[in-house]
Amino acid sequence: MQRGNLSAVSEFVFVGLSDAPEIRLLLFVLFLLVYLATMAGNITLLIAISTDSHLHSPMYFFLGNLSLLDLLCPTITVPKMLGALLLEHKEISFSGCLFQHFSLIAVVGTEIFLLAVMAYDRYVAVCHPLRYLSIVSTKLCAQLALGTWATGLLNSLLHTSLVFTLSFCGPNRIQQYYCDLPPVLALSCSSTHSTELVILVVAGVLGSGACVVTVASYICILQEILARKSPGMWHKAFSTCGSHLAVVCLFYGTTICTYVRPSSTYSPHWDRVVSMLYGMLTPLLNPIIYSLRNKEVKYALKRVISQV
C-alpha cells in the first residue's frame, strides 16, 4: 500500500455498551458505584497498611502494592467508559489510546509478576518460618517490588511500541470500551502477523515464568504440609495462604476468560462483558478477600474506619 494513499487515523471511537438510553443510565449508575466501592476499599486498605504497625511486614508491603495496582487498573478505563455512557463521548485521541493501552498493559503485567512474588513470600513464610524475616528482608522486598514494576513497564513499552507503530488508515471503531490489544490490532491496515508473534512469545515467556513461580511455590507449600503431618499445619497454611490463593485464582480465572479463548468463540458483545470481570470485578474483590480472610487486616480496617 502506498504511503500517499494512507489517511492516518487521528482518533478512535469506542463501541458503546448499549445504545438504549435507559440501559446506559442504569449501567452508568452500576459501574459508578462499583468504581467508587473499588476506590474506597483499596484506599482504606492502603491507609491501614501504612498506619498500622502490626501490618509493617513483607506480606502487607506486597499487599499494599497490589492495592495500588487495583486502584490504577479501573482508573485507566472506567472514567472514559462512564463518560461514554452518560455523555456519549465515545471518541479518544490516538495519543490518548496509546497512553491508555500502555498504562493498562503495564498495570496488568506488574500484577502478574507481583502475584508470583507474593507466592514466593508465602512459601518462605510456611516452609521457613524461623528464617522468614532474614530471607525476605526489607532490602529484598524493595528489590522485588521495584523489579515487578520495572518488568511490567518494560513489557508494556515493548507491546505498545509494536502495536502503535503500525499503520491505522481505515476503520477507527474499537469493539471495546477501552484500548485493548486485540481490537486495536484488528483496526491496523498493516500486516500484524510478526507483531502478534513477538507479542505472543514475549507475553508467553514472561507470563509462563510468573505462573511457574506461583505454582511451584504452592507445590512446595503442599509438600511441606504433607511432610510435617501436623494436625494444625493445614489450618495454619490455609490461614497464611488462603487470601493470596483466592486472589490468584480470581486473577488468572478472569484473565483466561478474557484472553485465552478460541478465536471461533470470539464475540464483541461477549468480549466486552467478560472484560468487566477482569477490569472491574477483580480490583473490587481483592481488598474484600483479604479483609474477610485476615484478622489483622480486619482489625486494622476497623481502626481506620472508626478514626474516619
Q: Model pTM?
A: 0.86
Angle at 210 between CA 275 and CA 46, to 5 degrees: 65
According to the model, what pLDDT value does residue 9 have?
77
Give the residue extent of every domain in the chain: 12-258+268-303
Task: Note the pLDDT of residue 246.
Answer: 80
- What is the Cα–Cα distance from 28 to 83, expressed in whole angstroms? 9
Distance CA 72, CA 224 (A): 36
C-alpha grid cell for residue 62? Answer: 506486597
Three-state DSSP at 267 gives coil
d(CA 122, CA 214): 10
**How many C-alpha atoms does 194 have within 13 Å on its Cβ side?**
5
Torsion of CA 248, 253, 259, 262, to 10 degrees: 140
Q: Which residues of the chain have pLDDT under 50?
A: 1-7, 262-264
CA distance 289 to 281: 12
Phi, psi values for residue 173, rounded to 5°: -90, 115
Grid cell of 104 as nine digits: 493498562
pLDDT of residue 106: 93
Residues with Cβ < 8 Å from 265, sequence gap 6 or more? Answer: none
Residue 68: the pLDDT is 94
Which pLDDT score, from 0 to 100, does residue 13 have? 86
- Topology classification of domain 12-258+268-303: Rhopdopsin 7-helix transmembrane proteins (1.20.1070)
